[in-house]
Structure 1
Amino acid sequence: MMGRSLRAILPLSDIVFSAKTFVAAMGAYYIALSSDMDRPYWAVITAYIVSQPLAGAVRSKAAFRMAGTVIGAAVAIIVIANFADAQALLTLALALWVGLCTYIGILDRTPRSYLFLLAGYSAVIIAIPAAAAPDTTYATASLRVQEIVVGILCATVTHSVFFPRSVTAYIHRRAEAVLQDARRWSHGALGRPLRDMGATPAMTVGKAHNRDRRRLAIDIHELHLLSVHLPFDTQIPTWPIDVLRKFQDQISRTLLLAATTEARIAQLSSMGKLTAEIADLIDSTNAWLDDPQTDSDAQKKAEVLIARARSLEPSCKERVPPGWEDILNIDILGRLAALVRAHAMGHQLGQLMQSNSPPGSDIMRVTLSKSPPRPLHRDHAGALRAALATFLTVAVGTIFWIGTSWPDGANAVVIGTIVCALFSTSDDPAPVARRVLWGTGLSIPVCGIYALGILPAVHGFLPLVMVLAPFFLTIGFLLPRPRWAASAIGMLLTTPGLIALDDRYSSSFDGFANAALAQFIGTMLAVAMLSLVRPVGQEKSAWRVRQICQRELKRRLASAQEPDSSAWIARMTDRMGLLAPAVSESRAMDDMLTTTCLGLAIDELNRFRITARGRDAAIVSLVLKRLDGQLVRHAIDIFQSTKIKKPGPGNAEFLRALDMALRQLGRQVTQPSYKSALLALADLRLIVAPQESPPLMRWDRTSHWVRGVAVVQQQASSD
């Protein structure tokens, strides 16, 4: 029992990671010393910052950091050459450059963003200290690049050669776990009891269901990050990266399809119209999800379930609109079939990744050839606020440094810029930066003991490594742990420079005190700017994402081009992955799923509007215009609200147009395009007015029908 508890506190993987990182840092320090570099502690810091638990992530981060450092050095040389005699312009140029790089890096939202962040603050690392001696700019830039490259190479070689943890092997282990999460979520959505799902007796069904949904959203986000590191892995998979992207697509589809199927089951159950045949099909789907089969068996049983769903669809007649119950039955059966197909494809792709063999079937190869990179959520307003924070950090810090003529003020500007740039990517960066400040404050007295008490008595490289090992191994152990990572970064940025790991040891109390004060003030400056410019909490973050979704929905309503629904699903699942770790309430995830369905319904109606003619196109156009008015009057979450008992005037007009469109398009339901548009209209009605009475789908008097359609067509043309 004690052994298991100790392994939980001190996992072996973290211990090995810390040891490898320390070896890489000390190797980089030794090479930098041997090469007569004047600031070898930058090699130590770089080795730690580049290090990641997975070898592929180390190599990708190393490549991005190297490129960013070279770009930053080039910019520093250009800025100093042009503005060395004008400190105000020099400060403005550096602040604008760092702000621009931060803005681009945050919009990128992949590990590649590290390149832009490094290009920004590397220019400050080089240009600020060189501003006092412009003639040494090139030499300073060259030395900083060499020190950082040494740290990069040592970290890359160490983590690639000694006990490497492969991204591909990690994906192999994660694939089945992600599929289990998808099956668990689908079980909950289809109404399966919670037995054997890991829930405690105190956990309600709703909490467990929300937990499964959040976990699946996080899985999708993690798969995206892994896809970026995969090309840099030490173990290159035989299957193309499109396999992972397609796997991510199928998991995203299960998240959405299970949620919408759950809503349809609830709708039919509340009406008392859930037939025994459909209920039996749902039970069979749950049994199929429970049964781990081989590839061929899974596919065969999936085809049987899909065929059953198609056979249960109500038969429709030409020019006779189906009833509301029939529309819901067609909808739920189609979603069940699509859910089964998504799980079957996900199972095949998961088996393919675990076997690490190339795709065998022609169908699979054709499917994988159509997997472009997934578009991601972009928050331009948040990126601008982050850019403003880094801009102000450089500007205010430089003004303070020049105004006080404090020699160590340059170090404060450099540290503040690094902290601000690194952590401005968070939705709520101020608390994270405060943990960096806490780590900085904690490490200063430890550094004092080292610099003033221990290191003066140390002679030789090996004794130095031995006395540094306890503290640096602790930092390396904390870095991969999310709870302590920010504090460990604070310790890392403080320790190597403060204990004077330079080309020669020289330390005095005055020098140490000034350097420690600069380190602390620089970090405080970053905290202050991030708190001033980017005070974002969980609720604010969720609200901002919903506002972005609302604007994007309005653009989709007004678009006359063929909609890209796959890109919409990718962005929305990415947003769910962003919100899932920060927002525990189910309402935010409910809103995201509802908004995703709303966008897909709009896309389907736009496709129909592009190809349809006459009164059919006119009535769909009117529905979309009325929906546009709803989005103007209300926030997105009004569609999810259960408190609205009676629709307002605008909502009533929208419902009248929507019900008219249901009847009009229902007359041609036997045509595939009309069927898809009809189901999209039904989705809109269930989203906007879930508590309203079912629409009247059939009129007894044809004259009323013709007059009603003519009125709607006239309204559409006048609008």
Structure 2
Amino acid sequence: MTAAVGQRPLVLAGFPIAGWAFALRTWIALVLALYAAFRLELQSPATAALTVAVLAFPTRGQGMEKAAYRVAASIIGLTAAVGIIGIFHQTGGLLIAVLALWIGACVFVSCLLDGFRSYAAVLCIISVALVAIEPLDMPQSVFQLAHERGAAIVVGIIASTLVNDILFAPDHHPRIHQRLADLQHRVAAFGRAALQGISPGAGESAALLRDITGLRPDITGLALESSLGPRRSTAARTAMVDLVFTLAAARMLAVLTAGQGATRDPRAPAAGAIAWMTAELRRRQGDVAASLAALTASKLPQRGWRSPLYRSTRIAAANALRAIVYFSLSAAALALAGWDATSVSLAFVGILIGLSFMAPDPAGASKLALVAAPIGGLLAGILEFVVLDGVSDFPLLAIGLLPFVLVPTLLMTLPNLALASLGRSNLVFAIAIFSPANQQSYSPQTFLFSCLFLCLASLLLAICQKLLPPLEPARQRRILLGEAARDLDNRQASHRPHREEQMFRDAGRVSRIAATTGKDTAGQSDVEAALRMFDEAAILRLAGGALDMLPADTPHDQRRASAAAVAAANAGGMIAAADLLASRMPSTGAAALAAAGLALARLREPDTR
């Protein structure tokens, strides 16, 4: 009991000390960025503060990776803003159409990526919105705005990096190692159950695949964490891919042992297949352990895997089309209203469109913006007109910002995703509305207009999503299942190299289907269907690997018959070919082919469905 209590993290006011340290680092970096922007007399110091806010992450690797993508995306976005305004600034409606197409293209790319790569595509929207859309009535100022915002972004990145290094922000790889180790234990438990003929449930398997593949964005950030980062990233990525293959092997073993029980007869026809599959499962578990050992030692694994991301171009295209429609409808509504300075609200609409489609649930993200926008405005108003109330001294500004940075940042450390998202949104919105400057205006009219435009943008996006709702989860699942069926029908999949990597890609698709399921019965049926296709594809890839393991002196006709059975996904043909190969000369390839054929036959039996 004493040891368990001693391992608990120190807690202050309900938050761990590590969370308080993260919040203080964020405040120091934000104040440093503002001070540098003021001293350099930049015209957009608020951009430097916002850069620190969006780069706020508890670990060094995450912040470094996001900073790198922010620099690249800012260059692309600012260049696009200057080019679009330079070419189309006198074309009226055509300019709005081009901006809508740009937003749609960025949303399309964002939906094909994950993690900070997806964020970089959305940042291209944000850069164009702030530089090209917000000053839509002043096209001559676009180049100057691009230069000023680019300089402020660099200042914010430098401030965030310096503070994280000087104040020893924790590395991310220990957390990744712990999560991989926990997943290793869960997969091992699945393997032990499979040896007893107990098949893991569809919900459990899908959740485990989702947890494994969900590590992919975090693992990519390890490469920028330190000089040893690329080795750690490769080792962690290899362990992640091996975990997927190990889970697939456990599910195949469960199919083979189903109904056999712990007292199965070793002389039964399936005994050899079960023995080979058991050895294969243990070999794969050894590969995971070796990759984790390489991660601990910061060494390259013996063989490194890539982790290809599953991309659905149909879903990405549907989201891009909706983004174009949302922006166009909002622009038309603001034009009909005839209000002054509505380009600011249109810029916010573009930003919120990009951020909403980056989230798993676009409708939920827009609802969050509806709640966070007035809260952010309230916090900015309290800061500007109650806490500061006309002061011009920088130390007082820094002290005044302290609670308005600490509280949202502490919320970001909570495991509750809704509260964490609300904390990040409020931190960004409050700074954006307050917009600290060298000579703070403290103008109630400017403040009210900023709040109004942000809230109006959130409302416009919510209305557009009511008129043309985002792609429904059931529709997304149908698209993903159709793509899985087409991939399965492509029998050449079993002959592709790097089958482990392709299996990880399939696991990513299962994870996406599980993410849109909820608790409805139809969703659970879709998950089961996705897992059946995942299992069948894994078995065919195992069979393709068995062909590579056949001895070099295997007769050509037997090799050709085996390959034909695998290409046709003919379970009986695979078993017959394996028996013929084993009768001539027992080999590992024959045993693997027999295991694959028998697993495929049993998977297709009605009772295994």
Same-fold status (TM-score > 0.5): yes
Q: Does 1:140 align with 2:141?
A: no
Q: Which digits, 9 at most, give the CA deviation of each residue in 1:97-147, with x for residues without a partner?
A: 221122112212242233222123312211113331222221111111112
Give the superposition deviation at 1:564. Answer: 4.7
Q: Give the aligned partner of residue 222 of structure 2.
A: 230
Secondary structure (helix, strand or coil) at the match of 1:466 reads helix
Residues 404-483 of structure 1: pairs in structure 2 closer than 5 A:
404-481=337-414, 482-483=417-418
Check whether the contact 2:222–2:230 (CA below 8 A) recurs between aligned residues.
no
Q: Give distance in 1, aligned partners of 2:530 and 2:505.
A: 11
Match of 1:12 in 2: 17
Q: Which residue of 2 aligns with 1:373?
A: 306
Instruction: Look up the match of 1:667.
Output: 580
Note closer, same or farther for the CA distance 1:574–1:138 as it changes in structure 2 (3 Å cut). same
Q: Is the 8 A contact 2:376 2:430 kept in 1?
A: yes
Question: Which residue in 2 is equivalent to 1:646?
Answer: none
Q: Which residue of 1 aligns with 2:453?
A: 518
Counterpart in the other structure of 1:548: 483
> What's 1:44 paired with?
49
Q: 1:106·1:383 contact (CA, 8 Å) conserved in 2? A: yes
CA distance, structure 2, for counterparts of residue 21 and residue 240 of structure 1: 26
From 93, 102, 112, give the equivalent of 2:98: 93
* Letter of the structure 1 residue corresponding to residue 273 of structure 2: D
2:602 match: 686
Which residue of structure 2 aligns with residue 255 of structure 1?
247
Identity %: 19
Considering only CA atoms, is the larger Rg found in Structure 1 or Structure 2? 1
Q: 1:689 to 1:180 in 2, by over 3 A?
A: closer
AA of the residue aligned to 2:430: T
Shift in Å at residue 536 of structure 1? Answer: 4.6
Task: Specify which of 485, 502, 510 is matched with residue 420 of structure 2.
Answer: 485
What is the 5 A alignment of 1:106-145? 106-145=111-150
Stretch deviating more after TM superposition (444-453 or 407-416) = 444-453
1:274 aligns with: 264
- How many Å apart are 1:433 and its aligned residue? 2.4
2:107 paired with 1:165: no
Partner of 1:308: none
Whole-Å Cα distance in 1 between the matches of residues 167 and 94 of structure 2? Answer: 48
Mapped contact 1:443–1:494 kept (Cα < 8 A): yes
The answer on whether the counterparts of 1:190 and 1:261 sit within 8 Å (CA) in structure 2 is yes
Q: Which amino acid in the other structure matches residue 152 of structure 2? A: E
1:40, distance to aligned residue in structure 2 (A): 1.9
Pair 1:490–1:409, CA change in 2 (3 A): farther
Paired residues for 1:142-291 under 5 Å? 142-191=147-196, 213=205, 216-234=208-226, 236-237=228-229, 239=231, 241-269=233-261, 274-275=264-265
How much has 1:532 moved relative to structure 2? 5.3
CA distance in 2, matches of 1:258, 1:126: 53
1:685 and 1:534 map into 2 onto residues whose CA distance is 42
Partner of 2:551: none
The aligned amino acid for 2:377 is I
Q: Are 2:512 and 1:599 equivalent residues in the alignment?
A: no
Q: After the TM superposition, which of the residue ranges 55-64 and 16-25 deviates more from structure 2?
A: 16-25
The yes-or-no answer on 1:382 pairing with 2:315 is yes
Q: Paired residue for 1:353?
A: 295
AA aligned opposite 2:580: R
Name the CA shift for 1:683/1:230 in 2 (closer, same or farther; >3 Å). same
Secondary structure of 1:164 counterpart: coil
Do the aligned residues in 1 keep the contact of 2:345 with 2:454 (CA within 8 Å)?
A: yes
Structure-1 separation of matches of 2:225 and 2:38: 30
C-alpha distance in structure 1 between counterparts of 2:461 and 2:483, whole Å: 27
| Gap regions ≥5 residues in structure 1 | 194-204, 278-313, 315-324, 628-656, 693-719
Amino acid at match of 2:258: A
Amino acid at match of 2:98: A
Cα deviation, 1:607-636, whole Å, max 9, x if unaligned, reads: 8899997698579758866x7xxxxxxxxx
Contact 1:223 1:244 in 2 (8 A): no
2:603 maps to a residue whose letter is I
Contact kept, 8 Å, 2:412 with 2:423, in 1: the verdict is: yes
Residue 507 of structure 2: aligned partner: 573
Post-superposition offset of 1:431: 0.9
Q: Deviations over 1:664-687 (max 9, x none)?
A: 663333455555444333233212
Distance 2:541 2:359 in 1: 32
What's the C-alpha RMSD, in Å, of the aligned pairs? 3.4
In structure 2, the CA distance between the partners of 1:133 and 1:584, relative to structure 1 (3 Å rule), is closer
Q: Report the residue type matching 1:97 in the other structure.
A: W
Question: How much has 1:600 moved relative to structure 2?
Answer: 3.0
Deviations 1:178-219 (A, max 9, x none): 3323323323433499xxxxxxxxxxx98xx67764564244
Q: Which sits farther off after the overlay, 513-522 or 165-174?
A: 165-174
Q: Report the Cα distance in structure 1 between the residues aligned to 2:592 and 2:196, rounded to whole angstroms.
A: 26
Deviation for aligned residue 1:167: 2.0
| 1:579 Cα offset (Å) | 4.7
Kept in 1, the 8 Å contact 2:536–2:600? The answer is yes
Query: Residue 375 of structure 1 aligns to a residue in which SS?
Result: coil
Amino acid of the structure 2 residue aligned with 1:410: S
In 1, the alpha carbon distance for the partners of 2:336 and 2:474 equals 40
How many Å separate the matches in 2 of 1:559 and 1:239? 30
- What's the TM-score, normalizing by structure 1? 0.74
For the Cα contact (< 8 Å) 2:224–2:230, is it kept in 1?
no
Cα distance change, pair 623–469 in 1 and its aligned pair in 2 (3 A): closer
Instruction: Show the counterpart of 1:499.
Output: 434
Q: 1:407 to 1:687 in 2, by over 3 A?
A: same
Offset, 1:28: 1.4
Q: Distance in 2 between matches of 1:547 and 1:128?
A: 39
Conserved 8 A contact 1:478-1:488: yes
CA contact 1:386–1:534 (8 Å) conserved in 2: no
SS at match of 1:136: helix
For 1:112 and 1:338, locate their aligned partners in 2 and report how far apart those are by CA, in whole Å.
35
**Higher mean displacement: 65-74 or 248-257:** 248-257
Three-state SS of the structure 2 residue aligned to 1:483 is helix
How many residues are matched? 588
Q: Secondary structure at the match of 2:134?
A: helix
Q: Which residue of structure 2 aligns with residue 343 of structure 1?
A: 285
Distance 1:676 1:612, change over 3 A: farther
Q: What's the CA shift for 1:260?
A: 1.8
| Structure 2, gaps ≥5 residues long | 549-553
Judged with a 3 Å threshold, the aligned counterparts in structure 2 of structure 1 residues 373 and 26 are, in CA distance, closer, same or farther, namely: same
| 1:45-64 equivalence runs, <5 A | 45-64=50-69
Q: Aligned with 1:38: secondary structure? A: coil
2:579 partner amino acid: G
User: TM-score, normalization: structure 2?
Assistant: 0.86
Structure 1 contact 447–495 (Cα < 8 Å) conserved: yes
Over 3 Å counting, the alpha-carbon distance change for 1:138 and 1:99 in structure 2 is: same
